[in-house]
Structure 1
Amino acid sequence: MTSREETEELNLRERPPGALEVRPPGPLTAGGDPEGGGPGGELATAAPPAEGDGAPSGPEPARKSRKLRMALIVVIAIGVAAAAGLAATGALGGEDSEEPAAGPSGPAATAEVKRTTLTSSETVDGTLGYGDVSTVEAIAPAAGGADPGADTGTGRPAGGGGTAAGSGGDAADTGAGIVTWTPNEGSTIKRGDTVYSVDGEKVPLFYGDTPLYRTLSDGSEGGDVELLERNLDKLGYTGFTVDETYSPDTADAVSAWQEDMGREQTGVVEAGDAVTAESARRVAALQTWPGAKAEGAVLDWTGTERVVSVELDAQFEDLVRVGTKAEVELPNGTTVDGKVTDIGTPPAASGSSSGDAGGQGEEDQESTLPLQLTVGEQDKLGRYQAAPVDVVLKADTREDVLAVPVNALVARQGGGYAVQKVTAGGSTESVPVELGMFANGLVEITGDGVEEGMSVGVPK
């Protein structure tokens, strides 16, 4: 048997250049010189198998050793990189570190305290159009022995009784006349213009919110009399006083109007002799045509000016009131000013019928609130008649306030907020602030030491 010293010398002679030294069995260690030249750099492994065991010889052990050495170098490199990263981010130091800071540490970025005007707003979806649609229904002319003001149960006064001699048609059976003229879709109807014609007689538009629902003649009194007289006055008829009393002078003016309309001059106004609306109307769609019986729907109409309709989410209800200003953005990017003129009630305010399904439907409907906005400069709307728009509701405005970006705020221990004022030396000091309005990424701040132009820290 050979001695330990002889075995080591034999291994040393047979070890190829660059190969690791083979040591007796023991743990794998590494340290000091990675080449294994010194005591701390020796890399020991188990003794090679005896001859005849099929163990490889030559450069193969060297290749394996080089792989091990490379793996150790990679691990060390990763560790060094990780430590450098932690040091860069402060994870290895901070206020509790025993090492003194190299110098004042400023914020990652800064922003200035600015004096500005803040407007609290919310952008919602809207639809540009002509507003609510209403339907005009024909009223059968009064004739025969029926009281022209009697209710037929259909919302229209009763027509004549029986069949007209020689006609034999359905129109005569019901007392309804024949539609002889209708306007074009998209046309505008103003005060005094014809809405439709029945049996050759024109039915004009009067402005007002009370329909002509009864016969008006000498001695009649009421708001509908005043409505009639006001419209006759606006159309140029004179000689009477606009009040709630139908006088002989009123009858004379009515006769003159009837003559101009091509009607029989009776001085008496029958129910349905004119259609009333609050203002000029635009014909949205026709529901009948010349030759049809004058009963039921004649046409649908809207206002003449384009408006914006919004179904507002209930969570924003406190942002709006009648008069709230808004900015409307059209599909082409153009913006126009608008104003809230009408706030409706949730569709489900009247309640739901029954069942779980009904309850669910009510909940869904209550989540929105209908709004209508007017646009003063109609010409800026271009040719859009029905288009989706963005509506910026301007709920409140604060002028001449000091503001900073919202991300400049720092929560204080115990409650409240502060900003980090950047000093001349580059360090920061905490300045407590009171918060005001939030708008467009900014927040209004007040407090001792808060000044316009002051530099504060913000995240980068």
Structure 2
Amino acid sequence: MRRGIVAGGVAVVVVAGGGSVLAWSADGDEAETGHEAPLRTVAVGRGDLVDTETVDGKLTYGDVREVWTGASGVVTWAPEEGATVKRGGTLLKVAGEPLTLMYGGSPMYRVLKNGDSGKDVRQLERNLRSLGYGAMTVDEEFTGATEAAVKEWQDDRGLEQTGMVDGAQVAFLDGPVQVREVKAPEGKQTAKGQPVLTVAGTRRVVHVDLDADKQDLARKGAKVSVELPGGAKVAGTISGISEVAESTGEGQDKKTTIGVDIALGSAGTGRFDEAPVSVELESERRKGVLSVPVEALLALRGGGFGVEVVDGGRRRLVPVDAGAFGGGRVEVAGNGIAEGVKVGVPAE
């Protein structure tokens, strides 16, 4: 359908397919009607108007980090890349002795033994209790009961029963992990303090390398929509924004980006890793405004915009001020424009 507008003291004309013509006088009164232009009507709505911008991202796992061991010697066992390790599981074996994963936010930085106290003691005791060892009180004191629990655990792990724990035996990480890269494969000599694995958390996230000049689109906690491989859409939340920009390429190919991570919660994402996805980021939100579908808007030849207000069998042109666009709608304001007023749009 072609909808033309003539303004400036003459008439406003809408020409529909098939030669139908509907004309208005300059004051908006219907002046002459030929075959009525085929229209349908929609109501002016009130609500939030959201404009979005789509960017590329990739589906991956969050919390990527390296794992170090406090042991020195030859690696006698290493996990396969992609393997998942949970609390109490083996991350690596050096000289036949396992490095065990336990959960906690503080790294193992000292030898823990009877008489010690601190938050790392509580962290160890919490893990021993979760793994079914000992009747000790979970607190910040390494007591004889804690030592007994450690010896029982060491016995089951094939370790010397010293009652003391160090970084050669335990690595504290935030939770279960997926092995991303084995840096110290079986047969390799490793030393204390060297990275042996790269791991990631088991929660799925989307990572976006966002152009630095678009960083205003990313706000921590903001809701986004993610289109997965296959076309399914899931909701996400921006969980992390890098504070450091990264530059790649040179000259005209130079690109500066900031990293943005998006949490997907419990949304089903399949088993794809590094799969490309599309992310809709919110660029603008107008709250509680009146809006109509974009196709209801008529551009006036003399400048400005109008909509066709339909009242029963009567149709008249009403000039409007157009505001923000978003989601296929446009913000409108003007005399006679209110929530629920019917306006015309081209019939499909």
TM-score, with length taken from structure 1: 0.59
Query: Cα offset for 1:271?
Result: 3.2
Gaps of 5+ in 1: 1-88, 141-175, 350-356
Kindly provide the amino acid, as one letter, of the partner of residue 136 in structure 2. F
Q: 1:202 and 1:103 mapped to 2: Cα distance?
A: 90
Paired position in structure 2 for 1:438: 325
Residue in 1 that maps onto 2:99: 203
Output one character per residue of 1:88-144: Cα deviation in whole Å (capped at 9) or x when no partner. x899x9739xxxx8943799886633436544432211101123532223323xxxx
Partner in structure 1 of residue 10 of structure 2: 95
Partner deviation per Cα, 1:42-89 (whole Å, 9 max, x = no partner):
xxxxxxxxxxxxxxxxxxxxxxxxxxxxxxxxxxxxxxxxxxxxxxx8
SS in 2 for 1:382: coil
Q: Distance in 2 between the 1:286 and 1:209 partners?
A: 22
Cα-to-partner distance string for 1:407-454 (whole Å, 9 max, x where unaligned): 655789xx987545457786634344574x531221233555224242
Which residue pairs with 1:13 in the alignment?
none
In structure 2, what is the Cα distance between the partners aligned to 1:374 and 1:90? 48
Q: Within the alignment, does 1:374 sit opposite 2:263 as a pair? A: yes
User: CA shift at 1:235, angstroms?
Assistant: 1.3
Summarize the Cα distance change of 1:238–1:322 in structure 2 as closer, same or farther, 3 Å threshold. Answer: farther
Matched, 1:189 2:85: yes
Alignment of 1:122 with 2:53, yes or no, is yes
Q: 1:132 to 1:90 in 2, by over 3 A?
A: closer
Matched-pair contact (CA < 8 Å) for 1:325–1:395: no
**2-structure distance, mates of 1:90, 1:126:** 43
Residue 236 of structure 1 pairs with residue 166 of structure 2: no
| DSSP-derived class of the 1:263 partner | coil
Count of aligned residue pairs for this structure pair: 321
Structure 1 residue 322, shift from structure 2 partner: 2.7
- Counterpart pick for 1:262 among 155, 158, 162: 158
Which structure has the highest strand share of the two?
A: 2
Amino acid of the structure 1 residue aligned with 2:327: N
425 and 230 in structure 1: CA distance in 2 versus 1, 3 angstrom threshold:
closer
Number of the residue aligned with 2:242: 344
The 1-side partners of 2:96 and 2:239 are apart by: 40
Q: Is the contact between residue 86 and residue 176 of structure 2 (CA under 8 Å) also seen in structure 1?
A: yes
Q: For 1:341, give the aligned amino acid.
A: S
Match of 2:21 in 1: none
**5 Å matches for 1:29-428?**
95=10, 103-104=31-32, 112-115=42-45, 118-131=49-62, 133-140=64-71, 176-295=72-191, 296-348=194-246, 364-365=255-256, 368-378=257-267, 380-394=268-282, 402-406=290-294, 408-409=296-297, 419=307, 421=309, 428=316
Kindly state the Cα deviation for residue 195 of structure 1 after the two structures are TM-superposed.
Answer: 0.6
Identity %: 39
Q: CA deviation at 1:387?
A: 0.8
Cα RMSD over matched residues? 4.0
Q: Distance in 2 between matches of 1:340 and 1:210?
A: 25
Instruction: Please tell me whether Structure 1 or Structure 2 has the larger radius of gyration of its CA atoms.
Output: 1
Read off the aligned partner of 1:376 and give its amino acid letter.
G
Work out whether residues 64 and 198 of structure 2, in 8 Å CA contact, stay in contact via their aligned partners in 1.
yes
Cα distance in 1 for residues equivalent to 2:322 and 2:245: 41
| Letter matched to residue 311 of structure 1 | D
1:422·1:457 contact (CA, 8 Å) conserved in 2? no
Q: Secondary structure at the match of 1:226?
A: helix
Residue 457 to residue 135, structure 1, CA distance change in 2 (3 Å): closer
In 1, the alpha carbon distance for the partners of 2:314 and 2:271 equals 57
C-alpha displacement of 1:309:
0.5
AA aligned to 2:144 is: P
Task: Give the drift of 1:400.
Answer: 7.5
Q: Distance in 2 between matches of 1:131 and 1:280?
A: 12
